[in-house]
Structure 1
């Protein structure tokens, strides 16, 4: 979608939840995940161009509300997102989000969109992008520990991008696992609901942990993790919230998005400040080594970073062209004379 012309600048394309769903089905879910994986990787390849800062977070006992901004010098993006684990008990989403894309040259927004669905898609695509560089070659089986709102997206992304064909599920609430199995029926994946985390990881080359409780939990203990696996830890995403026993981190080569943020929010918050990590963008560009030996344990300590949201927003903007899956909204004041904002207000009385 091109930038609005001067006569259209008062209107901004807005993508509602309904239109986001229409767009995803128009393209195809697995196609979206595959294409979004490539877009995220292309932005990781130009990582030094981006403004980077840990997310601006407001924490409470109930959860967290965050702003995630970044810019590549031409386009600016931000996402508003919350994380409230207890929401599920009230029938509410634990994570909701919306985002905005703007032209740096004039500051005008060019896209406003829901990002609850889009965040799930970009998180899964980022997991697949990392696994493409870090997981054992030819991996076919993934264990999914924590079967909430993210689970199906993660499974389909790993299938579409890596060729995973078997998913082994575990959740403390079996109804969550049954939900995932039901939703993935007919997807081409062989889905097994397991009675424990230990049984779920048997035979898995990739282990994804995605639990919601805001606490220092031990979802995986050291003795559960064999050599050669890739761990995709996406549930540790705020201070005081972890999923892995620290002894696993001592054995693993750990890869992160942006260290200043991950050391606050990720699994590595358990470790000393000098615990060694590798920035994922360096693996993507070839500046650092990812997986290099069969017995190596790789850990993607994912907390989500603004560049991934930037990628998702620019992907959606491009895919909207010619679809009509948006509505123009007038959130920008547009007086005839840019100096006469008050006069525009007064004319509204007429």
Structure 2
């Protein structure tokens, strides 16, 4: 006797890298970045509903492997993600990820997906969503310091969500800048390749830093910055990895996702434990001020948080079935009698008919 066919609940939609790429093109990159930003802002507005914990991290000399879980009481989501800066020297991605969304009611998974591409998209969408609240009014030029895998996503998100029209690019590796220039050609952005960080920030109202080296680097110093700029610091994302001189943090108003995590992994790991920060959900809900005046220097110390991945998983779930760009995975055991898991196993084997 063959085991009965599993019910539909046993199948979980799975989005492969190939189908994720097709889905992004089907929706459109700008439209998807804008949609992700809307979902992320929705979840920041209901921030207090979420389970929150600093990501569960396993650190090594070469990098970090992390789990990022959260739940809003109805759905549960987590992401597996690594960060290995040395990987690029070996022809590998610095960051790879996959994620899962499940029903709290049953505990059954409802979505399994690649999240290397999706993380790049949600990181850029988060940066631009935050800048919409903190950047100076009318900002049109962004400096992009660090032109690796995240740079094009950041540039396109800031164009779609904040209306920037020009990007000034700098990387210690000129080949990375040339890559970004090629990829952003035809995007509608005015692009300038720069030979130093100082040159890149000239005239920029928004400065994004996103470098990969796992070290306490000093990409920007306080004397480089004029009044009124917004800094989108997203490269400091693990212990021992920073990009900004502490004097910048002392001068700026610093905004974070989840302080308990950012104090471990962000730029503010350099500062005393009681260093004052404002949580972005408070700005978005009106509980705390964001930008107060034109001279204020604002700094988003963005390390990425599980709620943003949850938002991205929600967005994907809500848009997936209309596209058909997924595979059904048979990954949940589904015996006719929930108490007879062993019987299901035996009926599927070569001796199943005899055992039945």
Query: Could you state the TM-score of these two structures normalised by the residue count of structure 2?
Result: 0.96
Please list every run of 5 or more consecutive structure 2 residues that lacks an aligned counterpart in the other structure: 1-5, 351-356
| Number of the residue aligned with 1:104 | 104
2:231 aligned with 1:231, yes or no? yes
1:64 and 1:7 map into 2 onto residues whose CA distance is 38
| Number of the residue aligned with 1:291 | 291
> How far 1:173 sits from its partner (Å)?
0.2
Post-superposition, which runs of at least 4 consecutive aligned residues in structure 1 deviate over 6 A? Answer: none
CA-to-aligned-CA distance 1:311-337 (integer Å, 9 cap, x gap): 000100111122110000011111111
Matched ranges for 1:170-181 at <5 A: 170-181=170-181
2:260 and 2:37 map into 1 onto residues whose CA distance is 24
| Number of the residue aligned with 1:68 | 68
Matched ranges for 1:113-192 at <5 A: 113-192=113-192
Matched ranges for 1:295-314 at <5 A: 295-314=295-314
The secondary structure found in structure 2 opposite 1:155 is: helix
2:31 and 2:84 map into 1 onto residues whose CA distance is 30
Q: Does the 8 Å CA contact 2:7/2:334 hold for their aligned counterparts?
A: no
The secondary structure found in structure 1 opposite 2:69 is: strand
- Count of matched residue pairs: 345
The secondary structure found in structure 2 opposite 1:228 is: coil
CA-to-aligned-CA distance 1:60-93 (integer Å, 9 cap, x gap): 0000000000000000000000000000000000
Matched ranges for 1:251-266 at <5 A: 251-266=251-266
| Number of the residue aligned with 1:80 | 80
Moved more, 229-238 or 315-324: 315-324
The secondary structure found in structure 2 opposite 1:273 is: coil
Please list every run of 5 or more consecutive structure 1 residues that lacks an aligned counterpart in the other structure: 1-5
2:120 and 2:299 map into 1 onto residues whose CA distance is 20
Query: Could you state the TM-score of these two structures normalised by the residue count of structure 1?
Result: 0.98
> How far 1:285 sits from its partner (Å)?
0.3
2:93 and 2:332 map into 1 onto residues whose CA distance is 30
- Greater radius of gyration (CA): 2
| Number of the residue aligned with 2:29 | 29
The secondary structure found in structure 1 opposite 2:7 is: helix
Q: Does the 8 Å CA contact 2:12/2:330 hold for their aligned counterparts?
A: yes
CA-to-aligned-CA distance 1:100-146 (integer Å, 9 cap, x gap): 00000000000000000000000000001100000001100000000
